[in-house]
Amino acid sequence: MQQKQHQNAQEPIYVIQQHNAKSLHWDLRLEIDNTLKSWALPKEPPTEIGIKRLAVQTQDHPIEYATFEGTIPEGSYGAGEVKIWDKGTFTLIESDTDKLIIDIHAKKLNGTYALIKTHFKGSTSKNNWLFFKKKT
Ligand SMILES: [Mn+2]
């Protein structure tokens, strides 16, 4: 049977956009509740078990933004080049206000991942999460 090239509409979108703004970062976006929940990762997303990355939650983006690639013009917020680093779908395994467990189905990231809300000592930010690949 031939593999479908287009994702099933039932499967929520997973995408990571590499964003060469003032500082290079990776924007992880997950389709949840009809929007793209978003986190900015200052370091390259973890492809292997044992690497934990800071993921700072940012504002929700519209679903249509998942396919965006291009240059945000100078003078605009987030000015710089955006390109898709990885894309696919995910399955929600567990969901709580401060915890998400997902199965990512994509090329660079594949397998079970966790997003855990974290309060770092001394940090006043309420948007810090840790993103890492889980043992299955
Ligand atoms: Mn960004």
Question: What's residue 5's pLDDT?
Answer: 45
Rg for the chain (alpha carbons), in Å? Answer: 15
* Mean pLDDT for the chain overall: 92
Question: What's residue 21's pLDDT?
Answer: 95
Domain membership flag for residue 8: no
Domain membership flag for residue 31: yes
Question: What's residue 9's pLDDT?
Answer: 57
Structural domain span for residue 127: 13-133
Q: Would you give the DSSP letter of residue 132?
A: E
Strands (E), 1-42: 13-20, 24-32, 35-41
pTM: 0.90
Using CA atoms, how far apart are residues 24 and 11, in angstroms rounded to an integer? 29
Using CA atoms, how far apart are residues 31 and 133, in angstroms rounded to an integer? 19
For 90-118, the pLDDT digits (tens) are: 999 999 999 999 999 999 999 999 999 99
Q: How far is the CA of 101 from the centre of ligand 1 (A)?
A: 23
Domain membership flag for residue 1: no
Domain membership flag for residue 83: yes
For residue 41, give both structure tokens: 């990762």
Q: How far is the CA of 79 from the centre of ligand 1 (A)?
A: 9
Q: What is the average pLDDT across 83-89? A: 98
Q: How far is the CA of 61 from the centre of ligand 1 (A)?
A: 11
Q: What is the average pLDDT across 50-65? A: 96
Q: What is the average pLDDT across 19-34? A: 96
Domain count, the chain: 1
* Nearest alpha-carbon partner for 14 in 1, 26, 3: 26
